[in-house]
A = this chain, B = another copy of it.
């Protein structure tokens, strides 16, 4: 039976390769080389590169401390601001040159890898669901009228992902800084404009 530690090494190497070079540019040989494994051993652990990608995306999603969005000790909109600041820090650590793994896969994936597509959609939906819940909480506390929590949640995600994408393309912190300092506050201000108390 395969040793779990080699599986972990392959998963870690796959994650780094996918993030640095993308899904299609990464071959099994590059992953096993990075993991110090024999090329053939890959298939002792994963049935396909797609299988590995599904696991890597799931891991990536699990690392984003999404529970911050449910922390009832913090005002809901402040939670959202802290959340986007937190998730952007992981991108900043690489000077934004790697981008967000979810966004990168979103741009690469085709109908040929349906399970990657399902995993991406599930992660994005989960994220939007938590943001929507926090926004609903704020709306309720302030008796908001005519607001649309779900659309606001998605505008925040799309603004963040758009900034991550351009930060990656131009190797620059400016897109994310503009989202955090201007784009996100404007979207939240538009949401607050529906408060009646």
Contact = CB atoms under 8 A, between A and B. Distances in A.
A129 interface: no
A13 to B, nearest CB: 17
Contacts of A14: none
Contacts of A111: 97
Contact of A166 (B106, B168, B187): B106
Contacts of A168: 106-107
A141 interface: no
A20 to B, nearest CB: 7
20 contacts: A22-B110, A105-B169, A106-B169, A107-B165, A107-B168, A107-B169, A108-B108, A117-B169, A121-B170, A124-B170, A148-B182, A151-B178, A151-B182, A154-B175, A154-B178, A155-B179, A155-B186, A157-B162, A158-B178, A165-B165
Contacts of A183: 155, 158-159, 187
Interface in A179-197: 179, 182-183, 186-187, 189-190
Interface in A83-129: 97, 99, 103-111, 117, 120-121, 124
Q: Top 7 closest A-B pairs, CB basis?
A: A162-B162, A158-B162, A107-B107, A106-B169, A24-B25, A24-B24, A161-B162
A124 B166 contact: yes
A169 B124 contact: yes
Contact of A110 (B20, B103, B120, B165): B20
